[in-house]
A and B are shown apart, each in its own frame.
Chain A
Amino acid sequence: MKRPWTTGLGLIGVLACTVGVTVAFGSTAIEWGDVYRVLGHHLLGLGGSVNPVVDRIVWQLRLPRALLACLVGGGLSIIGVAMQTLVRNPLAEPYILGISSGASAGASFFYLGFLPPLISKTLSMPIAAFLGGLASIAIVYLVARDGPRVSVARLLLAGVAMSALMASLTSFVTFSSPEPDKLRAVLFWLLGSLSGTRWEQLPIPALATGLGLGTMVLLARPLDAMLMGEEPAQSLGMPVEALKRGLIVLAALVTGTLVAVSGAIGFVGLIVPHAVRLLVGVPHRRLVPLSFLAGAIFLCWADLAARTILPAQELPVGILTALCGVPFFLVLLRRRNYHFG
C-alpha cells in the first residue's frame, strides 16, 4: 500500500500551501494579493515597491512566526517518534514524559535571574532548558526501567510526577522572583506561545531541529531494530545502550531548544507520529521525515487557530494542542492492544 514518495511530496505541497495560507491571516485584514506581492518581492525579487506596513506585517511578523511553528511542530514530532521508539510504546511524548516541563523549569530559572548567563544570553537560555529537560527525562527513564524492559505504567506515572515537580519548581521561582512584572510573561510562555517571533530567534531552533532530523534519518535502521526489542537489536550488533543514551540526550537537546523559544507546547509529538504511521507504516526512514512535515503542518494550523479563534485576543497555542491532544491520548490509553503499524 503505502506510497512514501507520493505521501512525502504531497505533504511538502500541503506544507507550502499551509505556510502560504497562514501568512495571509492575522488580526489585521490584508489582501491576499498584497501578501503574495511581499513574498514575491523578498523571495523572487519581483516587483518594485511594496507597502512598507504590509511588508513588516507579512515579512517581519507572520513569516518568521509560521517558520518557527514549522520548526517547533516538526521538531516535537520527531522527538515524539524518538521517545516512542526508545520505550517501544506509542504513548511516549516529550510533554508527557516531563522533558518539556523540565526544560521550562530550566529556562525560567535562567529567565528570572536565578542562573548566571554562561555564554551569551541567546545561548544560555536553550542550554538551561536543555539541562532541565535532560535531568527530567533521565530521572523518569531510570525510575521506569525494569531490567532490560521499560514498564509503561511506571514510565507514564514517573512522567506525570516529574512534570508536577518541575512545574512546582517553575512556579516557585516565579513567585519568589523579585520582579513581579515578569510573571505574566512567564505564564504565557509556560503555556506555550509563538507570539512575537523574530527572524533572529530562528537559527538556533533550526540548527537543533536540523540536527535532530538528520541524526534520526541516519539512525533509521538501528531505530527500526530497536522496535523489535533490545535483545534482537543487540544480537544484530547494535550498540543498544549507546543508542538509548543518545536518543535521550537528543530528545532533551531538541525539546530544550524549542521550549526555550516557544514554551511548552504539548501533545504534538503524540498525535503526529501516530497519524503518520497510519499513512506510511513504521519504518523510520519514512516515519521520521514525514512526521517532521506533518508536525510542521499541524502546528501552523494550530497557531493560526490560536491567533484567530477569539476576536482581538490571542490564545497560547499550547492550550489548543492540549485540547486536541488529551482526548487523543486517552483513546490511545484505552486501546489495550495497540502496537506499532
Chain B
Amino acid sequence: MIHRTVLEFSLLIGLVLATGCGASDADRSDATQTDDLDRTVRIERPVERVVSLAPNLTELAYAAGGGSKLVAVTTADDYPPAVDTLNRISALPVDFEAITAKNPDLVLATDQVNPPGDTKTFDSLDLPVYFFSFSSLSDVFEGIRTMGTLLGTEEVAADSARTLERQIASLRARTESIPPAERPRVLVLIGDETLYSFGQGSYIHTLVEVAGGRSITDSLDASAPTLSEEFVLTEKPDVIVGAWGADYDPKRLLELHPTWDVVPALQNDRVYSLPASLLLRPGPRLVEGARRLAKRLHPDRFRTLSADTSLASRSVPEAPSSIAERAPTP
C-alpha cells in the first residue's frame, strides 16, 4: 500500500517535472485521438491552453464552447471580437518559438493553411498538434463536435453543431421546392482579376445548392482551378458571386474583363460580393454565408427576411455570432 502511494507520488512528481505544469495533475488522464491526417495525437487532459493556427479553427473552437481556452491565435484572425485580446502568432511560416513559449496543451492546425511537414517539428518539441481537414459542409459541423471532444466541451459543441445543421436544413427546406429551371447557374469566384475558383469536391457547391442555385464549377478536375475568361464566356453564369468583401463595386468586374458584357450575370446586374470570411473560411459562419447567398439568388422568395436580424429571430433559434461568442459551460 505504502509502496503504491510512493510510486504514484513519484510518478506525479515525474509528470510535474516533465511537463513543468503542476496544475490539476490529480485528475489528469491521457487521451489518444486520430486526426484528419490519420495521425495519432496524444493529448493530456484537461486541455486548458490551446493555440489555433488558422482563423476558421479559432471560430470553430468558439462555436464548440472552448474559446476561452485559446491562449494565442494567428495574425490573420478577426472573429469573433473576443480574439482581439489574445496573443498573435505568425502562422506562415509557423513561429514555433512563440508557440512553445505559450506552453500549450494542444495546437490546432489545418492542412489548408499549415504544411503537414510541420508535424515533425511539433513532435520533436513534444507539442500535441491536431490537424483538421475540411472538404464538405458536414466536415465543418463534424469539426465542431471533434473540437468539443478535444477541448472537453462536448455538450456545447454538440448543441452548436445541431443548431447550425438545423439552420442549414431549414434553409434547404425553403429552397428545395425551387424547380431546376428557376435555379440560377452560379459562378463563385475567389479572385476578380486572376479568376481563382472552387473545383470538384468543395463545400462551396453545397452552399450554392442549399441557397437555391447551381454551381457551374462543381465538376472541374482541379480542386483550386484558375478559370479562363473564355470559360466564363462559354458557361454564361446567371449570377457571379465573389468573395471580395461587402464594399466591392460590381462595375470593377466589367472593367477587368471587358469581354464579359455578354455574360448574363453582368447584363442583368447580378454580380454580388460577400465578405470573404463567410465563403472562404470553413467554419460556423458558412451558414451565414449560405443565407446571404440565398437572399442574393432569390430576392423575391426571401424578401420577407430582408434584414439579417429578422431572419435570425424567425426561422432559427440563434444567430451564429451569438454561438460563436458563447462562453463554455463550466
Chain A interface residues toward B at CB < 8 A: 26-28, 49, 51-53, 56-57, 60-62, 180-182, 184-185, 188, 193, 195-200, 312-314
List, in ascending order, chain A residues with CB within 8 A of B111's CB: 181
Q: Report the separation of the CA atoms of residues A60 and B126 in the bound assembly, to the nearest whole angstrom.
A: 10
- Contact across chains for A181 and B116 when beta carbons are under 8 A apart: yes
Task: Kindly provide the distance from the CB of B73 to the nearest chain A CB, expressed in whole angstroms.
Answer: 12
Q: Which residue of the partner chain, among B20, B93, B101, contacts A193 with CB atoms under 8 Å?
A: B93
- Contact across chains for A180 and B95 when beta carbons are under 8 A apart: no
B308 on the A face (CB < 8 A):
no
Q: Report the separation of the CA atoms of residues A26 and B92 in the bound assembly, to the nearest whole angstrom.
A: 16
- Contact across chains for A314 and B115 when beta carbons are under 8 A apart: no
Q: Which residue of the partner chain, among B17, B97, B118, B223, contacts A61 with CB atoms under 8 Å?
A: B97
Chain B interface residues toward A at CB < 8 A: 17-20, 75, 88-90, 92-98, 100-101, 103, 111-112, 115-118, 120-121, 124-126, 223-224
List, in ascending order, chain A residues with CB within 8 A of B96's CB: 61, 195-196
Q: Which residue of the partner chain, among B100, B115, B223, contacts A57 with CB atoms under 8 Å?
A: B100
List, in ascending order, chain A residues with CB within 8 A of B100's CB: 28, 53, 56-57, 60-61
- Contact across chains for B75 and A184 when beta carbons are under 8 A apart: no
Q: Which residue of the partner chain, among A27, A52, A180, contacts B20 with CB atoms under 8 Å?
A: A52
List, in ascending order, chain A residues with CB within 8 A of B112's CB: 181
Q: Report the separation of the CA atoms of residues A196 and B129 in the bound assembly, to the nearest whole angstrom.
A: 15
Q: Report the separation of the CA atoms of residues A188 and B92 in the bound assembly, to the nearest whole angstrom.
A: 9
13 example contacts (A-B, Cβ-Cβ < 8 A) are as follows A28-B101, A52-B103, A53-B100, A57-B97, A60-B124, A62-B97, A180-B223, A182-B115, A185-B115, A188-B92, A195-B93, A198-B121, A314-B90
- Contact across chains for A312 and B90 when beta carbons are under 8 A apart: yes
Task: Kindly provide the distance from the CB of A66 to the nearest chain B CB, expressed in whole angstroms.
Answer: 13
Task: Kindly provide the distance from the CB of A126 to the nearest chain B CB, expressed in whole angstroms.
Answer: 16
Q: Report the separation of the CA atoms of residues A28 and B120 in the bound assembly, to the nearest whole angstrom.
A: 21
Task: Kindly provide the distance from the CB of A42 to the nearest chain B CB, expressed in whole angstroms.
Answer: 15
- Contact across chains for B125 and A314 when beta carbons are under 8 A apart: no
- Contact across chains for B126 and A56 when beta carbons are under 8 A apart: yes
List, in ascending order, chain B residues with CB within 8 A of A62's CB: 97
- Contact across chains for B97 and A196 when beta carbons are under 8 A apart: no
Task: Kindly provide the distance from the CB of B123 to the nearest chain A CB, expressed in whole angstroms.
Answer: 9
List, in ascending order, chain A residues with CB within 8 A of B20's CB: 51-53
- Contact across chains for B95 and A314 when beta carbons are under 8 A apart: yes
Nearest opposing residue in chain A for B20, CB measure: A52
Task: Kindly provide the distance from the CB of B23 to the nearest chain A CB, expressed in whole angstroms.
Answer: 14
Task: Kindly provide the distance from the CB of B35 to the nearest chain A CB, expressed in whole angstroms.
Answer: 15
List, in ascending order, chain B residues with CB within 8 A of A198's CB: 120-121, 124
- Contact across chains for A196 and B94 when beta carbons are under 8 A apart: yes
Q: Report the separation of the CA atoms of residues A312 and B100 in the bound assembly, to the nearest whole angstrom.
A: 15
List, in ascending order, chain B residues with CB within 8 A of A28's CB: 97-98, 100-101
List, in ascending order, chain B residues with CB within 8 A of A181's CB: 111-112, 115-116
List, in ascending order, chain A residues with CB within 8 A of B115's CB: 181-182, 184-185
Q: Report the separation of the CA atoms of residues A28 and B88 in the bound assembly, to the nearest whole angstrom.
A: 12
Task: Kindly provide the distance from the CB of A30 to the nearest chain B CB, expressed in whole angstroms.
Answer: 8
List, in ascending order, chain A residues with CB within 8 A of B101's CB: 28, 53, 57
Nearest opposing residue in chain A for B224, CB measure: A180
Q: Report the separation of the CA atoms of residues A184 and B116 in the bound assembly, to the nearest whole angstrom.
A: 11
Q: Report the separation of the CA atoms of residues A193 and B117 in the bound assembly, to the nearest whole angstrom.
A: 14
- Contact across chains for B88 and A185 when beta carbons are under 8 A apart: no
Nearest opposing residue in chain A for B21, CB measure: A52
List, in ascending order, chain A residues with CB within 8 A of B17's CB: 49
Task: Kindly provide the distance from the CB of B106 to the nearest chain A CB, expressed in whole angstroms.
Answer: 15
List, in ascending order, chain B residues with CB within 8 A of A51's CB: 20
List, in ascending order, chain B residues with CB within 8 A of A185's CB: 115, 117
Task: Kindly provide the distance from the CB of B78 to the nearest chain A CB, expressed in whole angstroms.
Answer: 15
- Contact across chains for B125 and A61 when beta carbons are under 8 A apart: yes
Q: Report the separation of the CA atoms of residues A26 and B93 in the bound assembly, to the nearest whole angstrom.
A: 14
Q: Report the separation of the CA atoms of residues A49 and B90 in the bound assembly, to the nearest whole angstrom.
A: 30
- Contact across chains for A184 and B97 when beta carbons are under 8 A apart: no
Task: Kindly provide the distance from the CB of B84 to the nearest chain A CB, expressed in whole angstroms.
Answer: 15
Q: Report the separation of the CA atoms of residues A134 and B112 in the bound assembly, to the nearest whole angstrom.
A: 34
Q: Report the separation of the CA atoms of residues A182 and B115 in the bound assembly, to the nearest whole angstrom.
A: 6
Task: Kindly provide the distance from the CB of A315 to the nearest chain B CB, expressed in whole angstroms.
Answer: 10
Inter-chain pairs besides A180-B223, A312-B88, 13 sampled, C-beta below 8 Å: A26-B97, A57-B97, A57-B101, A60-B124, A61-B97, A62-B97, A181-B111, A181-B112, A181-B116, A195-B96, A196-B94, A197-B121, A200-B124
Nearest opposing residue in chain B for A314, CB measure: B93
Task: Kindly provide the distance from the CB of A306 to the nearest chain B CB, expressed in whole angstroms.
Answer: 11
Task: Kindly provide the distance from the CB of A330 to the nearest chain B CB, expressed in whole angstroms.
Answer: 30
List, in ascending order, chain A residues with CB within 8 A of B98's CB: 27-28, 312
List, in ascending order, chain A residues with CB within 8 A of B18's CB: 52
Nearest opposing residue in chain B for A180, CB measure: B224
- Contact across chains for B103 and A53 when beta carbons are under 8 A apart: yes
Task: Kindly provide the distance from the CB of A77 to the nearest chain B CB, expressed in whole angstroms.
Answer: 25
Q: Report the separation of the CA atoms of residues A37 and B127 in the bound assembly, to the nearest whole angstrom.
A: 22
Considering the complex of A and B, which 10 residue pairs feature the smallest CB-CB distances, nearest first? A52-B20, A185-B115, A28-B101, A195-B93, A196-B121, A198-B124, A180-B224, A56-B100, A26-B97, A27-B98
Q: Report the separation of the CA atoms of residues A60 and B20 in the bound assembly, to the nearest whole angstrom.
A: 16
